[in-house]
Amino acid sequence: MRPRCGQRQPFVLRSRAEVERFFAESALEPADPGVVPVHHWRADHAAPVPEQPDASCLAVLEDIEKVRYADINDVTDADINVYAAIGNKA
């Protein structure tokens, strides 16, 4: 059943093992690169780099506000706790 316009879909955080179990229980075969931290889906560093504001502007922002200017290409596995995969019917 599809949600009606304006209805919210639940967002459930799952561990890597839980995501892998979902694929196994659903008879889905993960496509390469498999179940990986989301930033590995752009492993070729093809993600766009956001335009950087002046250093003086960046200096007055709180850390959470600086996130919008972060370069995803600088992210490490330790920074990410969201996993992604695309599956094909086995």
Sign of CA dihedral 68, 18, 22, 75: positive
How does the average pLDDT of the chain come out, rounded?
79
Terminal-residue alpha carbon distance, the chain: 24
Position 20 pLDDT exceeds 80: yes
Alpha carbons 8 and 84: distance in angstroms, whole number: 21
Q: Name which of 27, 36, 39 is nearest 87 in CA terms.
A: 27
Tell me the residue type at 12. Answer: V
Alpha carbons 84 and 73: distance in angstroms, whole number: 17
Predicted TM-score of the model (pTM):
0.55
Position 84 pLDDT exceeds 80: yes
